[in-house]
Structures are given as structure tokens and as C-alpha cells.
Amino acid sequence: MSSIGHIIKSERLNQSMKQTTLAKGICSTSYLSKIENNLTIPSDEVITFLLKKLNIEIDQVSSEKENKVIASLSELYKMGVLKRDKKFIRESLQKYTNKNQYFLQLNNYYSYHLYLFRLLLILDDKEDSLQSTYNVIAKIRDGMDEKQKFIINLNLGLYSYLDGNYQEALSRLEMSLRFINNGKNEEWEIADFYNVLSLTYFKCNEFFNAINFASKSLLYYKDNLLFERAIDNYIVIGIAHKKMRKYEEAEKNYNLAMKLAKDYKLINYEEVIYQNLGSLYAIQGCHEKAIEFYKLSLRIKEEDCNAEGYLLTILSIVKEYSKQSDHEQVLKWCKKGLDKIVGGKNSNKENSSYYFHLQIYINYHNFNNELENLLKEAINYFEKEQDERHVQKYSILLADYFFKHNKFKAASLYYQKSNQILFKQKFINRWEDL
């Protein structure tokens, strides 16, 4: 069956055009509905008029040629998923996205959009093409084979994951589990799926499952010399062990990741591993050891001009000095971080967040009267950014501040705000469920 009905429907919806508007002067609205739902095969003349009204051009290719297009895109899909080279993906995708593809085989239409969507998710550019492709695959279901059902649920799960909807993501990914052993999925696809699933279980605080699936994924990556992906798995396993307070196991996995990073000169991973080692010692209260690893991470980031990573590590160092009430060092490192932020709180999203973090530590350690107003502004900012972690963190700090100054009603409001987020994190609605 042809994919033309799906193409017409998706383009009409993208343009926010009603069926009556598109059908007017060409065919009846009911006939257009049948075309869009692949219940009838329209004449070439009707197709031409509909496409002209939508102002789109579609390449019509032979079955043999379109099979080659899908085979080529499938290879790019595999390479993109395993290597995650954004520059290569972006350049390679141009020949597929310049025009809409008119696939005579509906099966190829499905595969085209499923492969394309995953590659756009890797780019994570939030471009119109990503939303447009999402609108297509979110509506297609009927006629898919089991492999395509596996991929569509993986894609939609990953889309929800990147959007921060982790429970919804997990629900989608667990649907993919039904189709994982259909005989059509290759080993690399299963390894990739396990990798995504492990990350999602981690975000849902299911650390045992996160370790289990990351370990399964790790076996394939190690055997096939995909060291960057193997390092990703070691890090996830390490962080999950840290969350479970199995600190020796966490450090063991970080060190295995570091060995691969050093052996294969993957410097960008070294800075990440040092950061995680610092966090591991920080949670154990080993402040000096934590700062030592953070500084190693910072040194690489300075050489690598990693601005966002640089600010993350600066803030991590600030936190360790703050725990020790070392006001002088806190102010010194906050200034070092703020010097990197151009535009203050009105800079880009990432830098704006760090501006608030650093200013809060400065005011807190300066015992500044402006702390109350700054915290209120920061909480409002992080609420708009849907950053619940920092809304909770600074709500607790502000509530403590109010309590200390005998403003008990104001304190209770911010303690309540913090508790609401705690309930959400634990996926409960009532205190009885705690």
C-alpha cells in the first residue's frame, strides 16, 4: 500500500489546515478522510491537486530505488546510534530531509520516519523537523511489523525521556520488551535498547534494574570494541551503585571506565569520570578528596573549552567548601565561576542557572540580607524551567531562613512546596503511602 495518505495527513496537520479547507474544490471531506486513513487509493489527478494545495513536492521513486534509500538510511541509523557523531549525522541527513519521500511501500514509509526520528533525537536540536517527525510517528500504528513496533516504542520512550517524563518513557520502553526477541532485531539494536532502558530505570530510581540492563548492554559494547558506549555503561553502573551506597562497587566501575578512557585517549570522558569520582567522595564526606578529583576534571575542561562542564565543576567545588563553612574559598570559587558567565541571569539557559546557584552561595556566605529576595527569584526561575530538583533545594533553604527569622507562616509554605516535590519524586499522592 502507498504512503501518500499518511503524507497528506501529516502535512495538513503540520500546517494546521482543516480537512474541509484542503478538500474544497478537489474532493469531498469524507473522501479526503478515506485517503488520509489509507482506506482508498486516489487518482493521480486528486493527489496532484492535494499536494499543490499543500504546497509540497514529493519524489516518486520505483520500489527498487526506495528499497535502496531505506537500506542506506538504515546504515546511517546504525552508525548514528552506535557512534553518536552529531556532525556526521547532521551532514548525512540532508539528502534525506530536503524533500518528502513518496514511498510506494507503506512499510518503507514507516521505516523511513522511525529511523529519521531516532537520528533527530540524537541531534536533540529541538528543531521543527523533530516535532514534525514526532507528529508522524505518534499517529502511525496499523500495519507495522514487530521490528517497527519495537523501534516506535523505543523512539517514543526516548522522546519522553529527553522531555523529562521518565515514567511515561519507562512505560513505552517496557512495551518494546514484548518485541525484543522477534528474531529481526540485531544484537547492536538490543544493546542500544538495553542502554536506553538502563538510563530510564535509573531516572525512575530503580537502580537494580539500571545496573542489570546496563551490564547486558556493556557486554556487547566491549566485545565489539565500542569503547565510548562501554564507558557510558560503566558510568551508569557506577552512579547506580553510588545511589545504593555501594561505594566500592561504584569506584570500581568508574576506574574501569577511566582505564578505557586513558587507553584510547578519550579525554572528554576523563573529565566526566573525574567529576563522578569527586561526587562519590563528596557523598561520603571526604571533602578534600572530592575537591582533588573536581580540580582534575576542571583542568581538562579548561583545556577543552567546555564552558557548561566548567561551571558544573566550579559549583561542585563551591558546594564542598560550603559544607566546611570555608567562606573565603566559597567566595573565591564563586567569583571564578561568575567571571565565565557573560550576561548574568539574562544569558543562555545553562549559564542563567549557574548564575543563580553561584549568587545564592555568595549571599549565603556573606550573610547578605538580599538572600531572601534572591532565593524567591531563583525558585521562580527554576519553576519556569521545570527544574524540580533546585526548586526543592532552594525552597528548603528559604524555609530554613524564614524559620530562623521567626517567619513561621512563610517557612511552612516553602516546606510544603518542598514536600510536594518529594511526594512526586516517590510517585505517591498521600502521606499514608510514605
Q: Look up the pTM and report it.
A: 0.84
Residue 346: its pLDDT value, please?
62
User: Left if phi > 0, otherwise alpha if psi is -120 to 50, otherwise beta: which for 309?
Assistant: alpha
pLDDT under 70 in the chain at which residues?
A: 1, 59-61, 98-102, 126-128, 141-142, 306-308, 343-347
Residue 41: its pLDDT value, please?
83
Residue 15: its pLDDT value, please?
86
Residue 22: its pLDDT value, please?
94
List, as one string, the DSSP characters of 50-65: HHHHHT--EEE--HHH
Q: Residue 240 contacts by C-beta under 8 Å, 6 or more apart in sequence?
A: 202, 207, 208, 210, 211, 214
Give the whole-angstrom CA distance, residue 293 versus residue 275: 7
Question: What grid cell was written down for 82?
Answer: 552506535
Give the whole-angstrom CA distance, residue 313 versus residue 271: 10
CA distances from 142 to 102, 138, 268 (A): 18, 12, 43
SS3 of residue 224 by DSSP: coil
